[in-house]
Amino acid sequence: MTEMTISEAQETRAGPGQGSGARIMLSSSLARIGRYGLVRLLTIGIAVVMGVLLTIFIANWGGHLDEVKKAAISYGVMMGLRERPEWRIMSREERDAIYQEMVAIERARRGLDRPFLVRTPGYLISALTLDLGRAAHMTSPSGSSQVRLIILELLPATLVLFGTANLLLFFLALFGALFLSRRYGSKLDKAIIALAPTSAAPAWFYGLFLILIFAVVLGWLPFGGMVEAPPPPQRYGGMP
């Protein structure tokens, strides 16, 4: 009885110390996970910002895009002035003065009177916040032409498609690799190795051919879009 009492007392004395040590280890592990997550988020954020910034510089074509915008502004202003009845009775000097003034106003409104590097931070903020203006030939499912709404409204369907495709790809690749590992050196294994370089092409490249095969030739699938589950009795696009 005395020995059991002593051992129990020792376990009782050792228990709080062990518990505090476990809590310290748990806190240290959580702190390391938190630091790792923050570093990863910071790294991804920097990569995204640098990618968007590089895209802005590439899209500007070394100032060529600004020249295209200025030419479009000049053309639009001229077409608008020619529709005015008083434009025809004005003298050449008056026409030139009004034209130059309106072109300067429109360029200043769009910020083209400032250097490109000065406008770059504004472009970067607009791109990161999806403030990309309006689309000319595309609308969102709700009928809006704002690029932000087009992206946000189509993003859930894109994530579902992307996630499902990657999940299927993961399991197909896993079981395919296990299957080939048991047939190392076979004709099938050599054929898969020979086709490996085809994976360098982007997914959308093969997507075009898959759309042609399954939507155009076979007619098994629609060209795009989503329907509720179960699907409606009508076929694609509401057509019977």
Domain spans in the chain, listed from the N-terminal domain onward: 15-128
What tens digit of pLDDT does each residue of 85-113 get? 888 888 888 888 888 888 889 888 888 88
What tens digit of pLDDT does each residue of 192-238 get? 888 888 877 888 888 888 889 988 888 887 777 776 666 666 654 44
Q: Is the dihedral of CA 117, 122, 124, 126 positive or negative?
A: negative
Tokens 């988020």, residue?
A: 41
130 Cβ neighbours under 8 A, 6+ residues apart: 147, 148, 151, 152
Residues 194/180, Cβ–Cβ less than 8 Å: no
Min mean pLDDT across 37-46, 66-75, 201-210, 220-229 is at: 220-229
Report d(CA 102, CA 78) in Å as an integer.
9
Measured between alpha carbons, how far is residue 113 from residues 55, 67, 223 in Å? 22, 12, 44
Residue 161: other Cβ atoms inside 10 A: 11
